[in-house]
Structures are given as C-alpha cells and as structure tokens.
Amino acid sequence: MELKQQDELPWGLLPIIRTSQGTVAESAALLRYTGALAGLEPEDLFLRAKVDETLDLMRGWWGVFTPTFSIDKIEEKISARQKLFEEGEPMDMAMKQLSKMCSESKLGWIAGTQSMSIADVKAFTDTFMLFSGQFDGLDPSIIRKYPELLIFHEKISNIPEIKLYYSDIEDRKEHWVFQPGAFNN
C-alpha cells in the first residue's frame, strides 16, 4: 500500500526492480532484463526465440492454474487442482511437454541451449514451487510421476550458485523444493 501511495509501482503491482535508469515492472520483463544482465539469454536469435517460446508455453499453464486461486471452498479448490494433474488434463500435459523438452535436449537445458538460460530458471522455479505445500491440493507425489523432471531438478539444483542460494532457507521454508534431492523418497 505504501509503495502504491508513493506512486512507486508503474502499474500498481509488484514485483518491480529499481535500476539506476528507473523502475521496471512485470515479472516477464524482469526475467528477461536480469537474465540478459546475467548472461542467461542466448546471443543466437533462433535459440533466444526457443527460450521465449518455452517461457510463453509456461505462461499458458498459469492461465489454467491461476483460476483455482479464486475458488472459495477449500474442498472445491483441492479437487479442481488435483483434476488438472490427472492423466490427459492440462497440467499433466504441461508436465509432459516439459518432460519432452528435457529428454530432447542434448545438454539437458530445457530450451535446447548450449548453457543455462532464463527458460531453465523459470521452468525450475515455476514447476517445483507448485509442490512445496503452499498450494492446497498439490503434493510431491504428483511431480514424482515425471522422472525427466526429477533429472532436470537435480541438474539445476546442483548448479553451485543455485545450491548455495538455497542452502539456507530458514526464513523461507517453502523453498525446500529447490534443494538437491528435494523429491527423493
């Protein structure tokens, strides 16, 4: 509210990043901006398009998942979410699309890039956060049905910088899903 009243938010929403040149809003723009700064955007324009394609595909999944947030009755919310992950339903298909991308990638990066890209960052965070326990109705048993995704999880969670970032999660317990071995039985 404070940020809103101080007119700090370009579109009235978080997240934002403040840069020396001004403020940037919209999470997709922030991902591309910070990704470019970090060298996680391929130089090759075809590969960059494949990265963007992956990001846009993932945005489609959120289009089917986010409406469950506004279901008031908890039992209905839980069953709507669980249904989305049943065989052939949209989130099951989404997990299968992601699995296919993982298995078709020569080096294991989700968008077939030569090194890690922002598509890997988003696939890692968006996918595994679903099973942290913060979303009623979803639990780790669901993600264990997609072995390629567990391989992808091990690849990303063991990148030294990422491993270090998630090594101390005392004040953000739901981030256990990003630690190596998180979904091992």
The residue ranges that bind ligand GSH (CB under 6 A) are: 13-15, 26-27
Cα-flanking dihedrals φ and ψ of residue 18, to 5°? -95, 125
Q: How far is the CB of 16 from ligand GSH (least distance, A)?
A: 8
Q: How far is the CB of 163 from ligand GSH (least distance, A)?
A: 27
Q: How far is the CB of 7 from ligand GSH (least distance, A)?
A: 14
Q: How far is the CB of 59 from ligand GSH (least distance, A)?
A: 9
Contact 31, 124 (CB under 8 A): no
Tokens in use for 162? 């990422």
Nearer to ligand GSH, 14 or 38 (CB): 14
Nearer to ligand GSH, 125 or 179 (CB): 125
Nearer to ligand GSH, 27 or 114 (CB): 27
Query: How many Cβ atoms are within 10 Å of 10's Cβ, its own excluded?
Result: 12
Nearer to ligand GSH, 32 or 155 (CB): 32
Measured CA distances, 80 to 16, 24, 76, 86 (Å) = 31, 34, 6, 10
Q: How far is the CB of 29 from ligand GSH (least distance, A)?
A: 8
Contact 124, 178 (CB under 8 A): yes
List the end-to-end C-alpha distance of the chain, in Å, as a whole number.
42
Nearer to ligand GSH, 129 or 159 (CB): 129
